[in-house]
Amino acid sequence: FASWAYDEDKILLNATHKPLLKNYAPNEEWALQDVDMARKEYEHEETVVSEIIYYIKIARKPFHYLISLVAPSYIICVLSIAGLFARFSTRHERQERFTLGVTAILSMAVLSLVVTEKVPHSSESVPLLIIYMHFIIIMVTIATILTSTVMRVHAKVIGQTRLV
């Protein structure tokens, strides 16, 4: 905060105490961690100007993301990997394991699109949530490939000619 119209002789800004938060309204997505301020003087066109700089430290509350994105993606991953270890049947239920894996990959792709829309875009670093989602997609893909491989090997062992 500074005055562009008057110099320090006419307006002297001081940061003497912590900012008052009596008008602060809590937010559901963000938590206010700290507010600090400092006074700075600089010279502009041979006049000394004072300004007050506010430092506001906020943190995102992760509960919404844990419930709406992390938990469903974890459940999808666990179901996909559990499909790899499901028992074989003599009927044609083996294809359902592969279908479960493909459906899980598609579900993770949709969740990844939701995450991409919600997370702020930055070219400096990749958010941890995006890394987690990509890791889960890779895990589900590997589980689906392994399921398909196991199904092919099992079909060859029992002598079926029709492979998935």
Tell me the pTM: 0.63
Range of the domain at 46: 1-60
Q: What is the pLDDT of residues 37-57, one digit of tens each?
A: 888 887 877 777 778 888 889
**Residues 87, 106: one domain?**
yes
- With 0-12 / 13-18 / 19 or more C-beta atoms within 10 angstroms meaning exposed / middle / buried, residue 85 is exposed
**Residues 140, 70: one domain?**
yes
**Residues 145, 89: one domain?**
yes
Q: What is the pLDDT of residues 61-115, one digit of tens each?
A: 888 888 888 888 888 888 877 877 776 655 555 677 778 888 888 888 888 888 8
Q: What is the pLDDT of residues 25-37, one digit of tens each?
A: 888 888 898 888 8
Neighbours of 80 (CB within 10 A): 26
Q: What is the pLDDT of residue 57?
A: 92
